Chain A
Amino acid sequence: MSIRFLALIPVAAAISLALSAAVDAVALPLFLDTTGTILATALAGPGVGIATGIVTSAVNTLRNPTFWPFVVVQLIVALYAWVAARAGLFRSFRTAIPAGLGLGVIASLTSTPISYLVFGCTTTGGIALTTALGKALGLPPLGACFFGSFVSDFGDKAVTFALVTSVLHGLPRRTAARFPWALRAIGAA
């Protein structure tokens, strides 16, 4: 791994964790905790993305230990983002947002069994409340758990993909050209 990629990983992981301040300021029900993973993958490939996801989960675990079992979701996100970058899906919002919605479905399918088996669907307040709503709507326990994860992940991943698209297009070409996947991800190479 090159020195530049090594320097990128902690920066990308810290971006994921620091964006909560921006989310809090606009009071939206978003996490954006995979932004760094998706961005690192779109810039430098799946290896850097996976490493960023693991580091993000490890550091987030020190704040809230329930995050660690969901490290699997970060790995899935990195692999999905790699496929999206290869296909040039970050070229515009028109392609990035549907791709993000697809990731939302996959991420909720991945996180539901972990949340259900390990935590009884009580990982965060928002997810617990939407799970309770799903239960009130008559869904079975696992279905209610998926409903809770889906509601939180679906919009979150679409916004994350849109944000990463904005970043990739906002990068100066000279900076983007230093990362092997950046130009291909936005359909410029």
Chain B
Amino acid sequence: MTGSRLHPFTLLAIAGALPALAWILPAPDGAAATLVVSLVLTLTPGARLGLTGIGASPGWRRRLVVFRMALLTAAPFWLFLLLLHDVPTTIATGLRITTMVATFVWLVAVLEPARLVEAMVAAGWSASIAYLLAATLSAVPVLKARAQRIVEAQRCRGLSPRGGIPARLRALQALALPLVLSALHEVDERALALETRGLVPGIRRTPLAPPHDPAAERAARWALLLVCLFTLVRRLIVQHPS
């Protein structure tokens, strides 16, 4: 089964369990094992950098883009760890951080926000919570584009981002204030739109196309949770025998 076809909650469970195990299991062996699993995940079919639009070409190269993105994202941490720590600590912490980075890069590549919202609604979560996540994900690129337009517009009006810190802070205020105020003026429009669509707190909605959630996946999610708890308890007992 490809990553993108797994139920969104299963994807989240894997993304939560792998970094947790990387920190719970003794380093470097445990963290190395979780890293291998997470890197293999980035090579699985269905992983694509959908949110960024990179890696749209089909086939093996597309999978390699996710793998490469995971390594490139983790690389600076290794550099900083080497700068601050000795080699054993660098390896132990580096493996753990790389597991976390690779797992989340994979998660972003396979998790479709719309499917997650449908899954949350189908599972009986409040529609408000699903809205918060989906609305933020969609609002960020819109506001970023608006911020860029404001930067260009203010530059056309002669705003200079150069000079000492006070001058730059004044420039920052001239850039940030229109962005924040314009965003706040949208709140009433959004509230009206939500009310019109019946998204009143406490109301349960019917999902349009709920993702299939087979019993095997539900069992696997519980198994992942139990493995994490068992490993944590075992680690604590082994490290601190009474």
Given that A11-B183, A132-B83 are known contacts, is A23 also in contact with B194, CB under 8 Å in the complex?
no
A14 lies within 8 A of B139 (CB): yes
B179 lies within 8 A of A22 (CB): yes
Q: Chain B: interface secondary structure?
A: helix
Given that A28-B172, A66-B100 are known contacts, is A10 also in contact with B177, CB under 8 Å in the complex?
no
- Top 6 nearest A-B pairs (CB, nearest first) are A18-B143, A128-B80, A65-B104, A10-B135, A14-B139, A21-B147
Q: Would you give the 0/1 interface string for A3-18, flagging 1 where the beta carbon is closer than 8 Å to chain B?
A: 1101111110111011
Q: Would you give the 0/1 interface string for A24-54, flagging 1 where the beta carbon is closer than 8 Å to chain B?
A: 0111101010010001000000000001000
A-B contact pairs, 13 of them (CB 8 A): A2-B201, A3-B194, A6-B191, A11-B186, A18-B146, A22-B150, A32-B176, A55-B136, A59-B140, A120-B85, A129-B83, A171-B184, A175-B185
Measured between alpha carbons, how far is A32 from B176 in the docked complex, in Å? 10
A166 lies within 8 A of B131 (CB): no
| B140-178 with Cβ < 8 A to chain A | 140, 142-144, 146-148, 150-151, 161, 165, 168-169, 171-173, 175-177
B147 lies within 8 A of A18 (CB): yes
B177 lies within 8 A of A167 (CB): yes
- Identify the B interface with A (CB < 8 A): 19, 23, 51, 73, 76-77, 80-81, 83-85, 89-90, 93, 97, 100-101, 103-104, 107-108, 128, 131-133, 135-137, 139-140, 142-144, 146-148, 150-151, 161, 165, 168-169, 171-173, 175-177, 179-181, 183-188, 190-191, 194-195, 199-201
Is A110 part of the contact surface with B, judged by Cβ < 8 Å?
no
Shortest Cβ distance from B119 into chain A, in angstroms? 16
Q: Would you give the 0/1 interface string for A58-69, flagging 1 where the beta carbon is closer than 8 Å to chain B?
A: 110110111000
Nearest to A22 among chain B residues (CB) is: B175
A6 lies within 8 A of B136 (CB): no
Q: A7-B190, A26-B161, A121-B84 are in contact. List 20 more A-B contacts (CB 8 A).
A: A1-B201, A3-B191, A8-B184, A9-B136, A14-B142, A15-B183, A18-B140, A25-B175, A27-B161, A35-B180, A55-B136, A58-B133, A59-B136, A61-B104, A65-B100, A120-B85, A120-B89, A121-B80, A159-B172, A178-B188
